[in-house]
């Protein structure tokens, strides 16, 4: 049984999320995407936890179902604390095998603070403290550092992160088996860091909206005779390529923090360019937001293009909505995008089947103009203006439009004055 899993999403109780992030809408849109296993997200929030208990029925050990959609209990927590005279901010995903065990986690967290104000609560405890207690509650809980390279809340993020898993988790490192790549990184980038070789790399959407542009944009593909919590966790832990087939990633340039930059100053820089400015914005003279690519370069001990032997493979795909919007020069949330997306999904079953498997001739019969873009997307041939400082990368389907000029090309005089 092929399982396509998005294990990190949020509910409508998290900040800046759609009101449609409820069980019925999530089930509906996940099917349109081609997902058949979802993390619930936010099981720490009391109202969402209550909804989950009311609506989900146990199907297999650790697997719950409703509306023909499988769910696994998941949540994300934000830990903010000081270590080694530096403020640390780290997001952790927790997967749990049962409502009873998840409830024990919630009861413990309530002794540390509130859970009812956000689906992703904030606590002042350290990563080792959180991990030790969660694993003490049950050895079957599973903790994954979320979007591991993201500047603000990744374990290796430029703003508050660490240089290694061991530096962060200390004696609790023994409980960490996997890292989430995040939108602005992919496995090929992380293979350059040899200290990460023994960790599985998983990919999830961190979606705040159920629409297929967001949900399942990154996901994991497994093959099981029987889907159970233990089978899923063991496949991730052991990196069994017979069961953990591959991950689906967006091109990391599409992520909001791939390059360095300043959104308010409209400045986007490669790591090499940032270094010429001493990591200072040439416009406002304040420190740049150092992106994921820069951070990988700092930690890497292998050359670009290194391929890790026996690693879980991955595929790069942009969402179908992005291709439609760019090809037809319309907004991502336009009627045109929704209508065409619906047309393709009705013909081919779900979006991932369109993007991964649909025959070119059949695609052409549906829409000749878009068929070529879908194949180019499948083959990784779409160029992207890299995202930076919270701005998504821009796919370029119009051959006349070029990759944005570097800031050093645009601001040679500024650079000269800056370096003087």
Where does the pLDDT of residue 412 fall: very low under 50, low under 70, confident under 90, or very high at 90 and above?
very low
Cβ-contact 274, 294 below 8 angstroms: yes
Report the C-alpha gap between 238 and 235 in whole angstroms: 5
Q: Tell me the β-bridge partners of 179.
A: 201
* pLDDT given at position 397: 85
Give pLDDT tens digits for 282-313.
Answer: 999 999 999 999 999 999 999 999 999 999 99
Asked if residue 415 has pLDDT above 50, the reply is no
pLDDT greater at residue 28 or residue 212: 28
* pLDDT given at position 400: 56
Where does the pLDDT of residue 416 fall: very low under 50, low under 70, confident under 90, or very high at 90 and above?
very low
Asked if residue 267 has pLDDT above 60, the reply is yes
Mean pLDDT of the chain: 94
Give pLDDT tens digits for 118-173.
Answer: 999 999 999 999 999 999 999 999 999 999 999 999 999 999 999 999 999 999 99
Widest Cα–Cα separation across the chain: 67
Q: What percent of the chain has pLDDT over 70?
A: 95
Where does the pLDDT of residue 212 fall: very low under 50, low under 70, confident under 90, or very high at 90 and above?
confident
Residues 202-229 have a mean pLDDT of 96
Burial state string for 107-136 with b = 16 or more CB within 10 A and e = fewer than 16: eebeeeeebeebbbbebebbbbbbbbbbbe
Asked if residue 38 has pLDDT above 90, the reply is yes
* pLDDT given at position 401: 55
Residues 219-244 have a mean pLDDT of 98
DSSP label of 217 = S
Asked if residue 417 has pLDDT above 50, the reply is no
- For the chain, domains (ranges, CATH) are 2-254 (3.20.20.140), 319-381 (no CATH)
What number of other Cβ atoms are within 10 A of residue 76's Cβ?
A: 25
Say which residues have a Cβ less than 8 Å from residue 61's Cβ, sequence separation at least 6: 97, 228, 229, 230
Asked if residue 191 has pLDDT above 70, the reply is yes
Residues 191-216 have a mean pLDDT of 96
What number of other Cβ atoms are within 10 A of residue 366's Cβ?
A: 17
* pLDDT given at position 233: 98
Report the C-alpha gap between 256 and 56 in whole angstroms: 34
Report the C-alpha gap between 310 and 287 in whole angstroms: 39
Cα dihedral 130, 131, 132, 135 in deg (nearest 10): 120
pLDDT greater at residue 30 or residue 416: 30
- Sign of the CA dihedral with 367 first, then 365, 383, and 159 last: positive
Residue that has been written with the tokens 């413990």 in this structure: 108
What number of other Cβ atoms are within 10 A of residue 375's Cβ?
A: 16
DSSP result, 99-159: HHHHHHHHHHHHTTS--SS-SS-EE---HHHHHHHHHHH-TT-EEEESSTT-TTTSTT-TT
Q: What percent of the chain has pLDDT over 90?
A: 94
What number of other Cβ atoms are within 10 A of residue 18's Cβ?
A: 17
Of 250-259, 303-312, 364-373, 395-404, which gets the smallest average pLDDT?
Answer: 395-404
Residues 344-349 have a mean pLDDT of 98
Where does the pLDDT of residue 69 fall: very low under 50, low under 70, confident under 90, or very high at 90 and above?
very high
* pLDDT given at position 404: 54
Pull the structure tokens for residue 132.
């030790």
Residues 403-413 have a mean pLDDT of 47
Pull the structure tokens for residue 342.
């619906």
Asked if residue 407 has pLDDT above 70, the reply is no
* pLDDT given at position 218: 98
Closest residue by Cα to residue 272 from 255, 251, 291, 252:
291
Where does the pLDDT of residue 408 fall: very low under 50, low under 70, confident under 90, or very high at 90 and above?
very low
Asked if residue 392 has pLDDT above 50, the reply is yes
Asked if residue 414 has pLDDT above 90, the reply is no
Report the C-alpha gap between 217 and 392 in whole angstroms: 13
Residue that has been written with the tokens 């999830």 in this structure: 204
Cβ-contact 381, 63 below 8 angstroms: no
H/E stretch holding 384: strand 383-385
* pLDDT given at position 419: 36
Report the C-alpha gap between 93 and 181 in whole angstroms: 13
Asked if residue 337 has pLDDT above 90, the reply is yes
Report the C-alpha gap between 371 and 245 in whole angstroms: 26
Burial state string for 137-167 with b = 16 or more CB within 10 A and e = fewer than 16: bbebbbbbbbbbbbbbbbbbbbbbbbeebee
């Amino acid at each position: 049984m092929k399982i396509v899993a998005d294990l990190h999403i949020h509910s409508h109780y998290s900040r800046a999320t759609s009101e449609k992030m409820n069980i019925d809408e999530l089930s509906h849109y996940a099917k349109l995407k081609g997902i058949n296993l979802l993390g619930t997200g936010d099981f720490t929030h009391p109202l969402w936890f209550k909804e989950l208990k009311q609506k989900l029925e146990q199907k297999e050990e650790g697997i719950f179902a409703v509306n023909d959609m499988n769910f696994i209990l998941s949540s994300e927590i934000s830990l903010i604390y000081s270590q080694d005279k530096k403020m640390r901010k780290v997001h952790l995903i927790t997967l749990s095998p049962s409502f009873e065990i998840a409830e024990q986690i919630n009861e413990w967290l309530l002794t540390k603070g509130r859970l009812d104000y956000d689906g992703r609560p904030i606590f002042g405890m350290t990563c080792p403290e959180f991990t030790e207690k969660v694993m003490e509650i049950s050895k079957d809980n599973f903790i994954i550092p979320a979007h591991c390279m993201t500047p603000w809340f990744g374990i290796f993020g430029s703003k508050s992160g660490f240089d290694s898993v061991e530096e962060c988790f200390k004696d609790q490192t023994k409980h960490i088996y996997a890292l989430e790549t995040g939108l602005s990184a992919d496995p090929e980038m992380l293979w350059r860091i040899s200290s990460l070789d023994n960790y599985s790399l998983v990919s999830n959407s961190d979606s705040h909206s159920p629409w297929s542009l967001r949900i399942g944009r990154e996901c994991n593909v497994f093959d099981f005779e029987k889907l159970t919590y233990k089978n899923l966790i063991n496949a991730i832990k052991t990196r069994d390529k017979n069961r953990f087939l591959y991950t689906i990633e967006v091109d990391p340039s599409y992520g909001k923090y791939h390059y360095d930059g300043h959104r308010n100053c409209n400045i986007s820089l490669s790591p090499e360019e940032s270094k010429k400015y001493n990591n200072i914005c040439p416009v406002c003279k304040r420190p740049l937001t150092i992106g994921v690519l820069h951070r990988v370069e700092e930690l890497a001990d292998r050359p670009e293009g290194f391929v890790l032997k026996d690693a879980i493979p991955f595929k790069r795909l942009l969402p179908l909505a992005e291709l439609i919007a760019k090809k037809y020069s319309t907004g991502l949330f336009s009627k045109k995008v929704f209508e065409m997306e619906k047309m393709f999904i009705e013909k081919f079953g779900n979006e991932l089947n369109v993007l991964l498997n649909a025959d070119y001739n059949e695609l052409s019969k549906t829409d000749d103009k878009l068929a070529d873009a879908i194949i180019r997307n499948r083959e990784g041939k779409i160029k992207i203006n890299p995202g930076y400082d919270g701005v998504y990368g821009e796919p370029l389907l119009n051959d006349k439009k070029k990759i944005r000029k570097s800031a050093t090309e645009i601001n040679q005089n500024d650079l000269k004055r800056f370096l003087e």
